[in-house]
Amino acid sequence: PQPKPKTSPATTAPVIPHQTVYVPVHRTDEVQAARLRLPILAEEQQVMELINEHPIVIVAGETGSGKTTQVPQFLYEAGYAQHKMIGITEPRRVAAIAMSKRVAHEMNLPSSEVSYLIRFEGNVTPATRIKFMTDGVLLKEIETDFLLSKYSVIVLDEAHERSVYTDILVGLLSRIVPLRHKRSNPLKLIIMSATLRVSDFTENTRLFKVPPPLIKVEARQYPVTIHFQKRTPDDYVAEAYRKTLKIHAKLPEGGILIFVTGQQEVNQLVRKLRRAFPYTVQQKEQKEQQDHKQQEELEPEKEFDLKRTIRNMRKSKKKFLNQISLPKINLDDYKLPGDDTEADMHEVADDDSDPEEHDLLEDDHLNELTDTASTKQPLWVLPLYSLLSSEKQQRIFQPVPEGCRLCVVSTNVAETSLTIPHIKYVVDSGRQKTRLYDKLTGVSAFVVTYTSKASADQRTGRAGRISAGHCYRLYSSAVYNDLFADFNQPDIQQKPVDDLMLQMRCMGIDRVVHFPFPSPPDQLQLQAAEHRLAVLGALKPISSGVTTDLPPAVTQLGHVISHFPVSPRFGKMLALSNQQQLLPYTVCLVAALSVQELLIDTGVQRDDDVPSHSSKFHQRNMSWAAGGNYRLLGDPMVLLRAVGAAEYAGTRGNLAEFCEAYGLRPKAINEVRKLRVQLTNEINLNVSDVELCVDPQLKPPSNAQARFLRQILLAGMGDRVARKVPLDEITDKEERRRLKYAYNCADMEQPAFLHATSVLRQMSPDWIVYQEAYELMHGDSNKMFIRGITAIEPEWLLLYVPMLCNIRQVLDDPAPRYDAIKGQIYCYVDATFGKAGWQLPLGEV
């Protein structure tokens, strides 16, 4: 490291250029030795000079070069934490926690000084000097303290990931930094990236008039041999398992890192690998986990108490790692001749891609391999994913028990956020989980897609940190070349912008269209979002005629909606549910609607519009939505009942059988449960003062509540109203039959057809709202379908979606009526609705 001048601590706030004072840190020799091996340490002086002299600096360096752990320490030692805090943002919670712990450890400081803050958790104190947080947390802080006056430096880490929040933070900070400078209270901004692809930040003149200087940290990277498969198997988890068995059996020592897409895949693979290479301590722990899980299944309400969960998480410090004693294993006994030759490596790769082999049953294969002596060496298998408790995450950094080979099964958390030591082999599924948003409904779903070439190369790079390594890609080079995009698209260009628009507007950013995004979302999208928000009542209506420069203001409802971590239409439904004990139902509905395919095969193809009333699934749906307002609530009622009933079955330990018998997807039930917990906690924390509890086995709503829920659905889906095509006006018999289930939707020219799975199909009510519309090829032409149907009363439209109603002619109505009994005035309202221009029947004014 560069020698530092020793001076007495500064007593005044730093000015530009920053006057370096040296704040001593007392590190252990061990830590100091580990730091000296990090590439960024050699560049400390250049990095700090650049930071001292420029308000904004970009630091790019290969994963593992020491950016996240060292830059905050450089800043601390240079006095940046003396008067204000050093803030570091991470897109992932995992990284925020792990890095704060590591830095505290390296600096020999307590967690009260080097702390973290994520959405539900944190250990920040008034004494905190270095604060790691998720990017969402900092964005929320800007809402209340626009100048970020508590901070002297903000480090935006992992900017290459292009998370929506980090992107917005870059835009906001590009304005905050000059403002702070003007007030002689400078704020430094450091943008850190694991890739050199930073042109969106440097070459964007709307963002930074003067491109900020870039410093590259040169990291030593050993060569990594890439092995493609001849074929790309669909079951990449099974393939990853097979590949790992082979590597472990045939290849010399060195850790294995496996990339799959999600927590469930990670756990599945970890279980299989532990079973294949038993290791006593791991077995013990596995059993503990199982017992724990069983207990949880017996008492599911436990899961719903987040505070308790967090308390438990903190309590459950695992001690077993310190207590193990291991049998000595002589590795040489198990080495195969010629193990470490390059040629052999390729042979392994090649013979693995033998198409025949894919047909082998996994367990047969397992038996075959565990019969050979070469696989007796225990494998130290560790999972890694974002929701893993931080104690368990830390295990990837702890020493591997003697005689064991390290094997980490991870989601793309290990791609750039966390550097796992001692990895020599990477097994890359080539897949990642992406949140895709339905353009029509805004409902999101997680789907597994191929990663990008950039991600694949990052993953490959993980094998070359300690010595030359190998990367086994579980896909062919043709797939890589043809189907992998060069880079992942920035998140901001993939998501609907309604919630983003509302959140930014609530922060006081009036002209979102002019916001300096690093990569701006589509302008038309932004305008459409503004319009939808106005219809929803989150923004004031755009008054026609009056031309004003300012975009419509955020309404009070809009501010409430912005507090819910869901799309604004769901936010509005939740906001309106704060009455009549409706919140638990709406929470459940929003959760169920956000999870795809809760109900398995409903006995009909999506493009089949022939009803199959006899199917078992249809019977189930009909009986779940039976009776008065339940029937009128329609398909959402089926979802409510499905979730409540499944959870009830779960408390008696037969969730699986129940799901099997009634055609539900058990995984979806679990996802819904998690979402319900998350939403409920969010509401408890941010929105309502009344503590709301999640009752997993939600009782069906009362008849009155079901009626309210219909209104609430209308309030959120006001632009998705449809009216039945009036059949009596059609004389042609054939045409009448064709249009039997046809509806006119507000914004569509073509009629859309009620989906065959809808419980409201037989009844075909006159007025409905739908959750989803989609188009399918039907013979030579397209046909529109709508599903997720709820019946509404047309007079509700005036109350819940006034912006779409045109009540111009009310006053001219020749026949106003007065209902003496109810004391209400009725009149015929000639209301046009959307483009459809429907006439509403009786309106209540």
Give contact residues for Mg ion (rule: CB under 5 A).
Answer: 68
Q: How far is the CB of 95 from ligand ADP (least distance, A)?
A: 8
Q: How far is the CB of 207 from Mg ion (least distance, A)?
A: 22
Q: What is the DSSP letter of 212?
A: P
Q: How far is the CB of 462 from Mg ion (least distance, A)?
A: 13
120 Cβ contact list (under 8 Å, min separation 6): 306, 310, 681, 685
Whole-number Å distance between alpha carbons of 796 and 73: 60
DSSP per residue over 459-515, as a string? HHHGGGSSSSEEEEESS-HHHHHHHS-SSPPPGGGTS-SHHHHHHHHHTT---GGG-
Residue with tokens 């893993």: 388
Among Mg ion, ligand ADP, none, what binds residue 66 when CB lies within 5 to 8 Å by partner kind?
Answer: ligand ADP
569 Cβ contact list (under 8 Å, min separation 6): 442, 498, 532, 536, 716, 717
Whole-number Å distance between alpha carbons of 392 and 388: 7
Comparison of 413 and 679: residue with beta carbon closer to ligand ADP: 413
Whole-number Å distance between alpha carbons of 368 and 373: 11
Comparison of 93 and 572: residue with beta carbon closer to ligand ADP: 93
Among Mg ion, ligand ADP, none, what binds residue 69 when CB lies within 5 to 8 Å by partner kind?
Answer: ligand ADP
Q: How far is the CB of 269 from ligand ADP (least distance, A)?
A: 22
Among Mg ion, ligand ADP, none, what binds residue 421 when CB lies within 5 to 8 Å by partner kind?
Answer: ligand ADP
Whole-number Å distance between alpha carbons of 297 and 606: 34
β-pairing, 781-791 with 255-259? Answer: unpaired
Write out the H or E segment, with its range, that includes residue 773.
strand 767-778
Among Mg ion, ligand ADP, none, what binds residue 634 when CB lies within 5 to 8 Å by partner kind?
Answer: none
Write out the H or E segment, with its range, that includes residue 454.
helix 453-461
Closest CA to 121 of 101, 148, 104, 147: 101
Q: How far is the CB of 78 from ligand ADP (least distance, A)?
A: 18
Comparison of 81 and 418: residue with beta carbon closer to ligand ADP: 418
Whole-number Å distance between alpha carbons of 228 and 214: 34
806 Cβ contact list (under 8 Å, min separation 6): 831, 832, 833
Q: How far is the CB of 706 from Mg ion (least distance, A)?
A: 51
| β-bridge mates for residue 115, sequence order | 131
Q: How far is the CB of 99 from ligand ADP (least distance, A)?
A: 7
Hey, what's the torsion of the CAs at 612, 615, 620, 623, to 10 degrees? 50
| β-bridge mates for residue 216, sequence order | 60
Comparison of 20 and 65: residue with beta carbon closer to Mg ion: 65
Comparison of 380 and 658: residue with beta carbon closer to ligand ADP: 380
Residue with tokens 């994913």: 385
Comparison of 69 and 678: residue with beta carbon closer to ligand ADP: 69
Residue nearest to Mg ion (CB): 68
Q: What is the DSSP letter of 614?
A: T
| Sheet architecture: strand order including 151-156 | 121-122, 114-118, 130-134, 85-90, 151-156, 188-193, 56-61, 214-217
Q: How far is the CB of 95 from Mg ion (least distance, A)?
A: 7
Residue with tokens 């900092």: 138
State the angle between helix axes of 703-716 and 568-576 in degrees (0 to 180), rounded to the nearest 10: 150
Comparison of 255 and 430: residue with beta carbon closer to ligand ADP: 255
Strand locations in 701-741 (E): 721-724
β-pairing, 805-806 with 832-833? Answer: antiparallel
Comparison of 243 and 422: residue with beta carbon closer to ligand ADP: 422
Q: How far is the CB of 157 from Mg ion (least distance, A)?
A: 6
Comparison of 61 and 663: residue with beta carbon closer to ligand ADP: 61
Tell me the CA end-to-end span of the chain in Å, nearest whole number.
77
Comparison of 192 and 672: residue with beta carbon closer to Mg ion: 192
Whole-number Å distance between alpha carbons of 586 and 578: 10
Q: How far is the CB of 100 from ligand ADP (least distance, A)?
A: 10
Whole-number Å distance between alpha carbons of 349 and 655: 42
Whole-number Å distance between alpha carbons of 206 and 174: 9
Among ligand ADP, Mg ion, none, what binds residue 419 when CB lies within 5 to 8 Å by partner kind?
Answer: ligand ADP
Comparison of 414 and 715: residue with beta carbon closer to ligand ADP: 414
Closest CA to 353 of 190, 237, 476, 225: 476
Among ligand ADP, Mg ion, none, what binds residue 38 when CB lies within 5 to 8 Å by partner kind?
Answer: ligand ADP
Q: How far is the CB of 43 from ligand ADP (least distance, A)?
A: 12
Q: How far is the CB of 116 from ligand ADP (least distance, A)?
A: 13
Burial 229-264 (b: 16+ CB within 10 A, else e): bebbbeebbbbbbbbbbbbbbbbeebbbbbbbbbbe
Q: How far is the CB of 128 from Mg ion (least distance, A)?
A: 20
Comparison of 61 and 716: residue with beta carbon closer to ligand ADP: 61
Comparison of 458 and 525: residue with beta carbon closer to Mg ion: 458
Structure tokens at 329: 């294993």
Comparison of 96 and 404: residue with beta carbon closer to Mg ion: 96
Comparison of 68 and 488: residue with beta carbon closer to ligand ADP: 68
Among Mg ion, ligand ADP, none, what binds residue 666 when CB lies within 5 to 8 Å by partner kind?
Answer: none
Among ligand ADP, Mg ion, none, what binds residue 680 when CB lies within 5 to 8 Å by partner kind?
Answer: none
- Asked if residues 233 and 430 have their Cβ atoms less than 8 Å apart, the reply is no
3-state SS assignment for residue 690: coil
Instruction: Give Cα separations from 135 to 159, 414, 834 (angstroms).
Output: 10, 19, 39
Q: How far is the CB of 192 from Mg ion (least distance, A)?
A: 7
Comparison of 99 and 745: residue with beta carbon closer to Mg ion: 99
- Neighbour tally for 740: CB within 10 Å: 14
Q: How far is the CB of 217 from Mg ion (least distance, A)?
A: 11
Q: How far is the CB of 67 from ligand ADP (least distance, A)?
A: 4
Comparison of 95 and 177: residue with beta carbon closer to Mg ion: 95
Q: What residues line the site for ligand ADP (CB under 6 A)?
A: 38, 61, 63-70, 102, 394, 397, 419, 421
Among ligand ADP, Mg ion, none, what binds residue 569 when CB lies within 5 to 8 Å by partner kind?
Answer: none
Q: How far is the CB of 65 from ligand ADP (least distance, A)?
A: 4
